Structure 1
Amino acid sequence: MRFAFYVSGHGFGHATRVAAVTTELLQAGHEVTVVTNAPEIPFASILPPSALPAAARDVANPGPSSAPLKRYATYRKRNVDAGIVQPKAYDVDRRATYEVLKRFLDAREETLEEEVAWLKEAGMDAVLSDATFLGCAAAAGAGIPAIIISNFTFDSCYSYLSHPSLPSSTSAETLEPPLDPAILDPLVDQTIADYACASLLLRLPGVIPLPAFDSDVPMPSGRWVSDDRTTFVPEIEAILSRPTSTIPSAQRGRTVVDVPLIVRPPSPSANMPEFRQDLLSSMGVPDYLLNSKVLLVSFGGQAIPRPRSRPPSPLSSPIRRSTSATSSLSLDVPQNERREAGLLPKGWIAIVTGLSGGDNAIRDDLPYGFFASEKDVYVPDLTWVADCVLGKLGYGTCSETLSCRTPFIYVPRPLFVEEFGLKRLMQARGISLELDRADFEAGRWEFHIEEAYEQGRAAKEEARKLGFVDERAGEVIRKEIEAFMEQWQGK
């Protein structure tokens, strides 16, 4: 069968999980064309060897070497996704995002006409979407099914931009006024209508309501979260917990299937002591630090603070500490805590990803004990080797820390409603602690690292004894797609 895989260009996670699913489809003999506004590099592992220069393929980090694919995907670059504008890894520019979305939808009819014509001309059997709304609408126009493979859709992210920021926010960026629903809602409604063209939803872990399928969910999406922005409200928890057969769209013949976590596995030898030493040495870690505990800082170009000596001060965010062997965990900083909160605990080093290029200003100004990963390092290997990860709640980081059982410290992203689903996933399946952005930007990391490490230590040690366990999500998803297509073609 021939599949057109419409892929969002927003963030690296979409590309990596699309590559995993596409590999399974290609190995089974299907044809796949990737349609995206993202560059080719993240898809290097599924494109022909001649599609990218050798240097570009190195940057792509395709992962552990494997046998050549039986066939390769085709790459087709088109502007099929509006995405979200981010001035920082954990911020959203509301106004700029609205303007990009409006321009994209103003050109919708023209773009849609082009995509429908191409789908027909190319003889595509179905559209797969992660998670572009235009691809779903194009499939409907071409008379073929659309299948969404995701834990969220962008309609809810856009809708959330009309939600006010918390008054106690510590950052000027998050105080940007909310968008007027009168101008935002019509755009959101169009994206929901386009997503509703899909016939099958393969729902990944970390899910939030998808309005095109959960048609009874209240809108705007700001109504989904508690007043303190920490959890979903009970109504949304109930919607996410109900059987898929009771979802309104399922009762109208549109199917929802829950599938496993898509994850990039570490290299087969990643659990060997010599692998760890070679990996750290390749990043300039000296011999006398090779036995240090490792913090992986995974932000992608985020500046590392340089805290200077100062008197101890209270933390902005709580630390989880046991008050006794039998009591529950306390969220209060102990009154007798007098140490200064620095960057790293004693005996730790940090590896920072996303700083490729020898002239990178951040790379050239890292604090003592911090080392930049090389551009061609395979991040799941670092996640496996690491004793703790610091980053943002993105799908790729969550899936890899969970599968490697590495404790995770995250800096919240106030305007990403997707985050609440990922936080829910991490609380259910892993060890995760929140680091307030004020403490992150001031370099007050130390206590959080110690606490996350202690909470996740036993699970991490067990993972290193047992080795990596693959949920084989790509295979599961491929079989679901094939079963659906067999049923569709038999109608």
Structure 2
Amino acid sequence: MRRFRTGSEEPRIAYFISPHGFGHAARAASVMAALYELEPSVRFEIFTQVPDWFFQDSLSSVFNYHPLLTDLGLVQKTPLVEDIPETVRRLNALLPFDRSQIERLARQVRELKCALIVCDIAPMGILVAQEAGIPSVLVENFTWDWIYQGYLHEEVRLRPHIAYLQEVFEAADYRVQTEPVCCYRTADLVTPPVSRKARTPAKQIRGRLGIPASAKVVMITMGGIPEQYTFLDRLEGLKDLYFVIPGPSASWQVRNRLILLPHRSDFYHPDLVQACDVILGKLGYSTVAEVYHAGVPFGYVLRERFRESAVLAAYVKEHLQSFALTEAEFQSASWLSRLPDLLALPRIPREGPNGADQVADFLYRLLTT
């Protein structure tokens, strides 16, 4: 029987995940799912404030959930607008991390017999790994020090937090970067986009939604941060299109050809992406990765102040059928006049690997050496 780094027959990995939206959790879940396919005995200890249901819906593997503020990221007013003064106020309260908390968490992961600590992109996990004497793996396409540098011109109080976080991120034992990468560093692995994989055929998803197989379907998604849409009445009156929108409703609602879903619904987000003809939404990592692997045309909303946005936009322009929208264009629904052009575009077939499998293979080799 195979023995792993800790001598256990059931390897355990602690996963520290940023709670900024659902994108980091989605990437982490895709890696955990791929690693479970490689090694079904693997167990995960998940440390985050992302709701536990997100992992219940994304994973088949056994995991334990530990609610913990592992990271701050940015405070958001809306999915597209950051609150930098409030971000600074909360960073001042959080950083540097409390030493006694790091020591307590280090004892906890040792008692749990974790062989690795993986961080996406929560820096706390790197310090816990150092204290526990366990290897740390940073999985990222950006780090928060790089993001905060984009706001220094308006908020100089970010400077000490940038310096502190740079030091913490550089201390990771292994670094994995996932395309689209914002700032290339010396890395142990660079992968294509990492996304959760669709599970259910598109025809079956459409059937469950009550959408004919031949109909044109547009999904609007703003990720894991709630959004108030001002144009729903206009969509409800359209006769030639179906719209699916996860997030704006507490329950499943059907209003003519407008289908509103709660954040947690009976539908797996990658399945919805696969079942639609066009995706409209925020330019965020997990959405880009899922749309990339589905090959679906993408109308994306730029976040002009968020530094990652330009990198994601350049990648989308190169690899996807797409067009860009400003926040004002999105909220006014002026994009409705452009939808026919986007709907006429073909999907792009993907034959290359999902980066999740490559990251999982890397982690598996660390567990077994």
Which runs of 5 or more structure 1 residues have no equivalent in the other structure?
Answer: 45-59, 164-177, 215-246, 248-254, 310-341
Give the secondary structure class of the aligned counterpart of 2:74: coil
Aligned mate of 1:396, from 286, 290, 314: 286
Shift of 1:193: 0.8
Shift of 1:160: 1.9
Shift of 1:343: 9.6
Q: CA deviation digits over 1:393-443, x for unaligned, max 9? A: 111211111111111111111232122222222122212211111121222
Mark the CA change 1:350 to 1:140 in structure 2 (over 3 Å): closer, same or farther.
Answer: same
- 2:49 corresponds in structure 1 to 37
State how far apart, in whole Å, the 2-side matches of 1:450 and 1:390 are: 13
Which one is further off, 291-300 or 470-479? Answer: 470-479
Decide whether the 8 Å contact of 1:126 with 1:145 is kept in 2: yes
Aligned mate of 2:242, from 333, 349, 370: 349
1:330-349 alignment runs, 5 A limit: 347-349=240-242
- 1:48 corresponds in structure 2 to none
Aligned: 1:413 with 2:338: no
- 2:5 corresponds in structure 1 to none
- 1:426 corresponds in structure 2 to 316
- 1:267 corresponds in structure 2 to 199
Residue type of the partner of 1:7?
I
- 2:7 corresponds in structure 1 to none
State how far apart, in whole Å, the 1-side matches of 2:219 and 2:315 are: 20
State how far apart, in whole Å, the 2-side matches of 1:265 and 1:89 are: 24
**Higher RCO, 1 vs 2 (CA within 8 Å, ≥6 residues apart):** 2
Decide whether the 8 Å contact of 1:307 with 1:443 is kept in 2: no
Decide whether the 8 Å contact of 1:344 with 1:449 is kept in 2: no
Shift of 1:280: 3.1
Aligned: 1:118 with 2:41: no
Q: CA deviation digits over 1:439-475, x for unaligned, max 9? A: 2122212233223233xx2335xx4xxxx75724333
Decide whether the 8 Å contact of 2:13 with 2:114 is kept in 1: yes
Q: CA deviation digits over 1:51-75, x for unaligned, max 9? A: xxxxxxxxx4x48xxxx64xx1222
- 1:91 corresponds in structure 2 to 81
Residue type of the partner of 2:355?
A
State how far apart, in whole Å, the 2-side matches of 1:307 and 1:39 are: 27
Give the secondary structure class of the aligned counterpart of 2:82: coil
Mark the CA change 1:157 to 1:75 in structure 2 (over 3 Å): closer, same or farther.
Answer: same
Mark the CA change 1:343 to 1:426 in structure 2 (over 3 Å): closer, same or farther.
Answer: farther
Query: Greater CA radius of gyration, 1 or 2?
Result: 1
Aligned: 1:280 with 2:209: yes
State how far apart, in whole Å, the 1-side matches of 2:301 and 2:287 are: 12
Question: Aligned-residue CA RMSD in angstroms?
Answer: 2.9
State how far apart, in whole Å, the 2-side matches of 1:7 and 1:33 are: 11
User: With structure 2 as the length reference, what TM-score do the two structures score?
Assistant: 0.85
Decide whether the 8 Å contact of 1:8 with 1:80 is kept in 2: yes
Shift of 1:369: 4.1
Aligned: 1:5 with 2:5: no
Aligned: 1:19 with 2:19: no
Mark the CA change 1:384 to 1:475 in structure 2 (over 3 Å): closer, same or farther.
Answer: closer
Residue type of the partner of 1:295?
V
Decide whether the 8 Å contact of 1:201 with 1:256 is kept in 2: yes
Shift of 1:131: 0.6
Which runs of 5 or more structure 2 residues have no equivalent in the other structure?
Answer: 1-10
Residue type of the partner of 1:294?
V
- 2:190 corresponds in structure 1 to 258
State how far apart, in whole Å, the 1-side matches of 2:121 and 2:107 are: 21
- 1:231 corresponds in structure 2 to none
Shift of 1:124: 2.6
Mark the CA change 1:148 to 1:154 in structure 2 (over 3 Å): closer, same or farther.
Answer: same
Q: CA deviation digits over 1:139-158, x for unaligned, max 9? A: 12222221111212122222
Q: CA deviation digits over 1:361-408, x for unaligned, max 9? A: xx69x7x64221362222222212211111001112111111111111
- 1:241 corresponds in structure 2 to none
Give the secondary structure class of the aligned counterpart of 1:80: coil
Shift of 1:188: 1.0
State how far apart, in whole Å, the 1-side matches of 2:331 and 2:320 are: 25
Decide whether the 8 Å contact of 1:36 with 1:80 is kept in 2: yes
State how far apart, in whole Å, the 2-side matches of 1:417 and 1:158 are: 9
Residue type of the partner of 2:94?
F
Shift of 1:350: 1.3
Mark the CA change 1:470 to 1:264 in structure 2 (over 3 Å): closer, same or farther.
Answer: farther
Aligned: 1:194 with 2:126: no
Mark the CA change 1:349 to 1:17 in structure 2 (over 3 Å): closer, same or farther.
Answer: same
Q: CA deviation digits over 1:121-170, x for unaligned, max 9? A: 3333221110111111221222222111121212222222224xxxxxxx
Mark the CA change 1:278 to 1:425 in structure 2 (over 3 Å): closer, same or farther.
Answer: same
- 1:292 corresponds in structure 2 to 215
1:124-163 alignment runs, 5 A limit: 124-163=114-153
Shift of 1:279: 3.1
Mark the CA change 1:348 to 1:201 in structure 2 (over 3 Å): closer, same or farther.
Answer: same
Give the secondary structure class of the aligned counterpart of 1:202: strand
Aligned: 1:370 with 2:258: yes
Residue type of the partner of 1:37?
Q
Structure with the bigger percentage of strand = 2
Mark the CA change 1:115 to 1:480 in structure 2 (over 3 Å): closer, same or farther.
Answer: same
Mark the CA change 1:392 to 1:188 in structure 2 (over 3 Å): closer, same or farther.
Answer: same
Residue type of the partner of 1:97?
T
Shift of 1:277: 4.3
Shift of 1:41: 0.9
Mark the CA change 1:8 to 1:435 in structure 2 (over 3 Å): closer, same or farther.
Answer: same
Q: Percent identity?
A: 23
State how far apart, in whole Å, the 2-side matches of 1:193 and 1:344 are: 54
Residue type of the partner of 1:381?
D
Shift of 1:476: 2.1
State how far apart, in whole Å, the 2-side matches of 1:24 and 1:441 are: 37
